[in-house]
Amino acid sequence: MAYAETTSVSVEKSEAEIKAMLRKAGATSLMSAEEPGNAVVAFEMQGRRILFRLPLPARDDKRFANDGRQRLRPADKRAAAWEQACRSRWRGLMLCIKAKLESVESGIETFETAFLAHVMLPDGSTVGDYAKPAIALAYETETMPPLLPAPRRQTEEAKER
């Protein structure tokens, strides 16, 4: 069973709880946004920008159309099932962030370690986005990427400066 699979806590309440929890922990510049299929929560804390992407189910996902007994659900029941899945996802995100903050507060790990995959890089991607392909490649090839990138070759123009 997925966490909070049957929760009645609204998306809006979960979102507000996340923001209140982050403010209490010292976060600044909070934001959240939604578009079909995705939500984001971002904040600044301890000199870092943190970005959580929350995949949301599509309204037309087939799992909402069927009632589990091979019968088609009416439109209102499909909408209710979709809303339930969204509420569950938001509760899961709240739990994830809460656990990371607790881990930091308890001294189990540092802020940077707890939130590392979600640290936003200057190009808008996250450390996790950057690291996942490198980790996959390291496992596939059984070789480690270089500790430092290869030195950049200077162009003739740069040498003249």
Cross-strand partners of 120:
126
Distances (CA, A) of 3 to 21, 27, 41, 60, 95: 19, 26, 19, 22, 9
Per-residue model confidence (pLDDT) at position 21: 98
For 81-90, write each residue's pLDDT tens digit: 999 999 999 9
For 27-75, write each residue's pLDDT tens digit: 999 999 999 999 999 999 999 999 999 999 998 888 888 777 778 888 8
Q: What does the domain layout of the chain look like in residue ranges? A: 11-121
Task: Report pTM.
Answer: 0.83
